[in-house]
């Protein structure tokens, strides 16, 4: 809570970051791949060298978090142990090795009047990143944005402020040695929420906001931003096992989608089973899942087959458990399955298991999600798994980027039209 004059002063501080970021982004438009990669490696060196100071700042954040009664899980996300520091440093070096996403000719054609048109990938400009707890995001996001020639303004959680400041300081030290513009990487250090409000309404200087964290954070950003937001809310992912499914593959895919890492957004939350499938399939599936410790919540028809299931309520179909819980529903064929997914899903990742090519096509076309899987697990929705390199997040939005947001998604395009004096008649 702040009075008006404080609020005004915070707004002005953030506007100043924005003005400087815009200037830096204009300089970066002229940077070559070599310049960027050199800077990324220099930033990795600096992070590596400043590891002791970063860990010291981090231990202060961790101590304060414990004092403030943050949960163990939240404290764990905050900790920068040696392994995480090493991974962060290596992450920057890996990004330096990736191909330059800027300058790609996306399309090129000549018109009858002799004009040569090129659609070229260019940086977006200035990216505002708003995130919680994990301080490694500071380095990962800054490196990805820089690789795509964008300037970045970072706003991490106040619980990680010292860690983030230490990391951002190291990145700037490294960058400076490589000639990186001073304001290419900036951190909002004001703890006040007015700073976020200023950042997400600074249309003139910020081109996109990427929020990463809990649903509350993301909704608050999306509702109050005037700058465009690239976001994902949640992953309510489904596996539909069709009457024509290979039963063995289906067991394995469902088990993997639910159990391999239940706390992530591409894990399955609902199993849809075709009523045409032999009931024995679901019985055995339930045995497998229950043996893994999964709690099953079924609709009436599913519970008739597997009596040990709890009763699923309407709320279950809407819920991202992020836990060893799976809701189960029996449907009459693919159309009901698709209808359920498009009604209750979150447009993230949904799978079908079937050997029928027509049903594969139908599912691929009619399920309105970022990633649709045929005879494989939903767990593959990830920039690295897709072969796109590191990702900054996953978008369930429809515009600009859908699915993994990696380097190419951190660029936009412009048209460069070359003529020899043509005029419009």
Q: Which residues bind its own copies (CB under 8 A)?
A: 26, 29-30, 109, 111, 115, 117, 120, 124-125, 203, 207-208, 222-223, 226, 228, 230, 246, 248-249, 252-253, 255-256, 260, 342, 360, 362, 364-366, 368-377, 379-381, 385-387, 397-400, 402-403, 412-425
- Closest distance between its own copies and the C-beta of residue 62, in Å? 31
Q: Which is nearer to its own copies, 323 or 385 (CB)?
A: 385
Q: Which is nearer to its own copies, 37 or 360 (CB)?
A: 360
Q: Which is nearer to its own copies, 226 or 313 (CB)?
A: 226
- Closest distance between its own copies and the C-beta of residue 286, in Å? 19
- Closest distance between its own copies and the C-beta of residue 225, in Å? 9
- Closest distance between its own copies and the C-beta of residue 389, in Å? 13
- Closest distance between its own copies and the C-beta of residue 50, in Å? 34
Q: Which is nearer to its own copies, 211 or 403 (CB)?
A: 403
Q: Which is nearer to its own copies, 70 or 220 (CB)?
A: 220
- Closest distance between its own copies and the C-beta of residue 103, in Å? 8
- Closest distance between its own copies and the C-beta of residue 63, in Å? 36
Three-state secondary structure readout of the chain: CCCHHHHHHHHHHHHHHHHHHHHHHHHHCCCCHHHHHHHHHHHHHHHHHCHHHHHHHHHHHHHHHHHCCCCHHHHHHHCCCHHHHHHHHHHHHHHHHCCCCCCCEEEEEECCCCCEEEEEEEECCEEEEEECCCCHHHHHHHHHHHHCCCEEEEECCHHHHHHHHHHHHHHHHHHHHCCCCCCCEEECCCCCHHHHHHHHCCCCCCCEEEEECCHHHHHHHHHHCCCCECCCCCCCEEEEECCCCCHHHHHHHHHHHHHCCCCCCCCEEEEEEECCCCHHHHHHHHHHHHHCCCEEEECHHHHHHCCCCEECCHHHHCCCCCCCEEEEEEECCHHHHHHHHHHHCCCCEEEEECCCHHHHHHHHHHCCCCEEEECCCHHHCCCCCCCCCCCCEEECCCCCCCEEECCHHHEEEEEEEECCCCCCC
- Closest distance between its own copies and the C-beta of residue 302, in Å? 23
- Closest distance between its own copies and the C-beta of residue 317, in Å? 16
Q: Which is nearer to its own copies, 216 or 387 (CB)?
A: 387
Q: Which is nearer to its own copies, 74 or 264 (CB)?
A: 264
The answer to whether the beta carbons of residues 366 and 374 sit under 8 Å apart is: no
Q: Which is nearer to its own copies, 139 or 148 (CB)?
A: 148
For residues 55 and 400, give the distance between their C-alpha atoms in angstroms, rounded to a whole number.
37
Q: Which residues pair with 118 in a beta bridge?
A: 108, 416
Q: Which is nearer to its own copies, 46 or 151 (CB)?
A: 151
């Amino acid at each position: 809570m702040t009075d008006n004059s404080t609020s005004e002063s915070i707004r002005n501080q953030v506007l100043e970051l924005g003005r400087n970021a815009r200037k830096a982004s204009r300089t970066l438009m002229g940077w070559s791949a070599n310049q960027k990669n050199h800077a990324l490696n220099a930033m990795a060196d600096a992070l590596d060298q400043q590891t002791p100071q970063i860990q010291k700042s981090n231990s202060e954040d961790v101590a304060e978090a414990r004092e403030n009664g943050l949960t163990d899980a939240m404290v764990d996300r905050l900790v920068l142990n040696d392994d995480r520091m090493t991974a962060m440093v290596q992450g920057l070096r890996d990004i330096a090795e990736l191909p330059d996403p800027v300058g790609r000719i996306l399309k090129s054609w000549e018109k009858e009047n002799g004009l040569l048109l090129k659609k070229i990938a260019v940086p977006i400009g200035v990216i505002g990143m708003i995130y919680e707890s994990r301080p490694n995001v500071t380095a990962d996001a800054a490196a990805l944005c820089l690789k795509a020639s964008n300037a970045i303004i970072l706003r991490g959680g106040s619980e990680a402020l010292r860690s983030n400041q230490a990391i951002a300081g190291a990145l700037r030290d490294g960058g400076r040695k490589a000639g990186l513009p001073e304001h290419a990487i900036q951190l909002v250090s004001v703890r006040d929420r007015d700073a976020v409000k200023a950042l997400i309404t600074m249309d003139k200087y910020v081109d996109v906001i990427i929020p990463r964290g809990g649903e509350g954070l993301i909704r608050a950003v999306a509702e109050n931003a005037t700058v465009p937001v690239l976001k994902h809310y949640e992953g309510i992912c489904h596996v539909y096992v069709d009457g024509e499914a290979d039963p063995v593959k289906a067991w394995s895919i469902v088990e993997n989608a639910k159990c391999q890492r239940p706390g992530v957004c591409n894990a399955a939350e609902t199993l849809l089973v075709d009523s045409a499938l032999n009931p024995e399939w679901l019985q055995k599936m339930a045995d497998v899942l229950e043996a893994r410790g999964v709690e099953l919540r079924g609709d009436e028809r599913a519970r008739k087959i597997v009596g040990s299931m709890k009763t699923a309520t309407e709320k279950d179909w809407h819920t991202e458990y992020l836990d060893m819980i799976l809701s189960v529903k029996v449907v009459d064929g693919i159309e009901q399955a698709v209808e359920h997914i498009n009604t209750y899903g979150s447009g993230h990742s949904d799978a079908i298991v079937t050997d029928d090519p027509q049903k594969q096509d139908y599912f691929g076309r009619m399920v309105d999600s970022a990633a649709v899987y045929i005879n494989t697990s939903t767990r593959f929705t990830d920039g690295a798994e897709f072969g796109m390199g590191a990702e900054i997040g996953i978008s369930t939005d429809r515009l600009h980027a859908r699915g993994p947001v990696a380097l190419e998604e951190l660029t936009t395009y412009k048209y460069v039209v070359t003529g020899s004096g043509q005029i419009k008649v």
